Amino acid sequence: MNHFFPWNYCSEKSSSTKRNERIANDKFNTVKHQVETVLAEMSKVTIKLGCLPESESPLAQLPSILFSHICSYAGLPEPVTRPKPMSMPVVQTKMTSRSGRVIKKVDYSELAIDSLGSKIAIPLLKPNVHLTAPCWRDFARAVRKNERWNVKRIVATPVEKQKFKESRKSNVYFINLVFTVPARPKVECLDNVK
């Protein structure tokens, strides 16, 4: 056996382990696409809220008592006529009629992207999809190449092994993706600059 070819001229990974690695990569790409879509939607909503006319302002959709409290706190005169608050179905109907096509609703509530700067753990693989050491190494490198992404594996307990009907004597792992939500950049005050 040569130290340059420890596998005796064979492939380092079997076809089944390559398949498991491909499954893991496909799942990661799907989750990554969902998270990027959520981040893009959030930035679009933020930009849109700043560009809305007064009649469609989110403040106009608040109950009148809250709106009057906000106006009094800010020292603004309360407008005499306020448009009626729109319910979410009405807003969604207006959005679909404006664009002329049906908007596909996607539920991203399981991704807690609202907390900026925090880390979100997203379960990716269960112990019944086993990645060998070479597959894990390559998969972890592929994930870590992406900005703000990391991957962790957690050893399954004997009870969890039985639950997934895993008969391996060696360790089996749960594989979780860890995404760091991008925080807002810090804004320095110009008063401190000399």
Q: From first to last of its 194 residues, what are the pLDDT tens digits of the chain? A: 455 555 555 567 888 888 889 999 998 888 888 888 777 766 655 555 555 555 555 555 555 665 566 666 566 666 555 444 444 554 455 545 444 444 444 444 445 555 566 787 888 888 888 888 889 999 999 999 998 899 998 888 989 888 888 888 888 888 988 888 776 555 454 454 44
The residue segments making up the domain with residue 73 are 15-180
Question: Looking at the domain assignment, is residue 93 inside a domain?
Answer: yes
What is this structure's pTM?
A: 0.54
In a domain, 9, yes or no: no
Residue 150, burial from CB neighbour count under 10 angstroms (0-12, 13-18, 19+): middle
Question: How many domains are contained in the chain?
Answer: 1
- Note whether residue 107 is domain-resident: yes
Token pair of 18 as six digits: 């390559």
Would you state the structure tokens that stand for residue 126, as one six-digit string?
A: 């269960």
Residue 49 CB-half CA count within 13 A: 9
Q: What count of Cα atoms within 13 Å lies in the side-chain half-sphere of residue 31?
A: 24
Cα distances from 105 to residues 29, 56, 92, 108, in angstroms, run 20, 21, 10, 9
